[in-house]
């Protein structure tokens, strides 16, 4: 029997790209989804006279919504004429950085926050007739009517991610009513980013059935309400072995303040104000257990003298290929290139943690 493949890609919308998808019916005997194309003039990726863009499948997983043999197909956008990556294709550059710094074994855990909105643009967690809910306080990790809304969407989304084989790690209700989070990882840059994009698509798709709009806006509600971020936790093999490497990574990141802030998502100045558990966007800081720092070193990392750090600055609407690539560049360029894995495996020092880290990133 023929089956359905949902081809998913990132469009060219400004200032924040959106996800698009369309369905291809594949014959029963087709095992690998073929290249495909679309009208780039309708997605801000081409002009009408040269409208064809190519879709190159890069990651496939089971389609948890349609079930059966159906699949989801994540695609890179390429120029139809040349086969080169399209200018909006940030994944291709991430592939190159991931290859360049492979020996550093950098892995990520990404915390995706988002806000549920009504179709009319009002927050789903705010009273339907207008006005404001009680101030922030009872909503974070809350339970019960009046404290959380939209849980049925979270339940369905989490199970869908698991069924699709995505590396979802957990979920929680956030500080602003109607704001939630899920985490993806731990995995290397491409895998974490691919899984995050697929999880975002599933979220939009599932919420569609409830007439709920998923907003990744950095500051969906002005005033005394938390913004939505995409905290990016990261570690290299060296950081997982030594606290000095963790601190060195934080310092290396601090040197790229402007570059990072410019590329961490639209509207970052509105979110990173120094209030609502953020550091001001134009000042770099790092600290142990400090949720008011740009980069936080979790307390258990300081205790264990090794582990990872959390860049708290990326927005909910960030491009994970860009963020993970920038962190690869900043952190790995500043670390000694680890010895090639083969000779290192023969030595006894350092072998254990390298192996563990590898296992961790493949597990789940």
Of 180 and 321, CB closest to Mn ion: 180
CB of 236 to ligand ADP, least distance (A): 9
Give whichever of 53 and 218 is closer to ligand ADP, judged by the CB atom.
218
User: By C-alpha distance, which of 215, 20, 18, 19 is closest to 120?
Assistant: 215
Q: How distant, in Å, are the alpha carbons of 53, 89, 93, 110 from that of 82?
A: 10, 14, 17, 34
317 touches, from Mn ion, ligand ADP, none (C-beta below 5 to 8 Å by class):
none
φ/ψ of 316, rounded to 5, equals -55, -35
**CA dist., res. 174 & res. 277, Å (int):** 12
156 binds, among Mn ion, ligand ADP, none (CB under 5 to 8 A by kind): none
Q: Cβ 232 to ligand ADP, closest distance in Å?
A: 9
**What's the min distance (Å) between Cβ of 172 and ligand ADP?**
7
Contacted by 125, from Mn ion, ligand ADP, none: CB < 5 to 8 Å by type? none
Residue nearest to ligand ADP (CB): 109
What is the maximum alpha-carbon separation in the chain?
68
Identify which of residues 114 and 308 has a Cβ nearer to ligand ADP in the complex. Answer: 308
The nearest distance, CB 202 to ligand ADP, in angstroms, is 18
**Residue 29 tokens, joined:** 């005997």
Q: Which residue is nearest to Mn ion (CB)?
A: 231
Q: Pick the closer one to ligand ADP by CB: 52 or 247.
A: 247
- What does the alpha-carbon distance between residue 217 and residue 198 come to, in Å, rounded to a whole number? 18
Q: Under the rule (CB under 6 A), what is the footprint of ligand ADP?
A: 107-109, 111, 169, 183, 185-186, 231, 233-235, 240, 307-308, 310
Binding site for Mn ion (CB under 5 A): 111, 181, 231
* Tokens 């019960």 -> residue: 144
CA 103 to chain centre: 22
Q: Which is nearer to Mn ion, 111 or 194 (CB)?
A: 111
Least separation in angstroms between CB 92 and Mn ion: 28
Q: Where are the alpha helices (DSSP H) in the chain?
A: 91-100, 151-164, 189-208, 243-254, 257-262, 268-271, 299-304, 320-332, 341-346, 351-362
Distance CA 312, CA 181 (A): 14
Residue with smaller CB distance to ligand ADP, 180 or 308: 308
248, two tokens: 């060195």
Q: How far is the CB of 43 from Mn ion (least distance, A)?
A: 31
């Amino acid at each position: 029997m023929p089956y359905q493949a949902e081809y998913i890609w990132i469009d060219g919308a400004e200032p924040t790209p959106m996800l698009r998808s369309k369905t291809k019916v594949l014959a029963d005997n087709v095992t690998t989804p073929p290249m495909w194309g679309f009208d780039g003039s309708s997605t801000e990726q081409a002009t009408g006279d040269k409208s064809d863009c190519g879709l190159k499948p890069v990651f496939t997983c089971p389609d948890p919504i349609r079930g059966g043999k159906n699949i989801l197909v994540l695609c890179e956008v390429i120029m139809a004429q040349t086969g080169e990556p399209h200018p909006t294709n940030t994944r291709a550059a991430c592939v190159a950085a991931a290859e360049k710094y492979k020996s550093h074994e950098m892995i990520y855990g990404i915390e995706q926050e988002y806000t549920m909105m009504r179709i009319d643009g009002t927050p789903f967690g705010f009273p339907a007739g207008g006005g404001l809910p009680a101030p922030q306080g009872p909503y974070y990790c809350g339970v019960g009517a009046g404290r959380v809304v939209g849980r049925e969407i979270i339940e369905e989304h989490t199970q869908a991610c698991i069924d699709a084989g995505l590396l979802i790690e957990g979920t929680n209700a956030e500080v602003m009513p109607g704001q939630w989070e899920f985490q993806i990882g731990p995995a290397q840059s491409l895998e974490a980013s691919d899984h995050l994009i697929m999880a975002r698509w599933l979220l939009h798709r599932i919420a569609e059935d409830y007439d709920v709009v998923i907003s990744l806006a950095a500051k969906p509600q002005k005033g005394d309400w938390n913004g939505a971020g995409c905290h990016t936790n990261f570690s290299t093999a060296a950081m997982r072995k030594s606290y000095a490497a963790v601190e060195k990574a934080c310092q290396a990141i601090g040197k790229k303040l402007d570059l990072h802030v410019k590329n961490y998502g639209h509207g970052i100045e509105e979110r990173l104000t120094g209030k609502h558990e953020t550091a001001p966007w134009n000042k770099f800081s790092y600290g142990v257990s400090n949720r008011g720092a740009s980069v936080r070193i979790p307390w258990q990392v300081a205790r264990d003298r090794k582990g990872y750090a959390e860049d708290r600055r990326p927005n909910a609407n960030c491009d994970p290929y860009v963020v993970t690539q920038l962190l690869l560049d900043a952190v790995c360029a500043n670390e000694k290139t680890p010895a090639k894995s083969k000779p290192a495996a023969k030595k006894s020092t350092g072998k254990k943690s390298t192996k563990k880290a590898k296992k961790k990133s493949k597990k789940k």
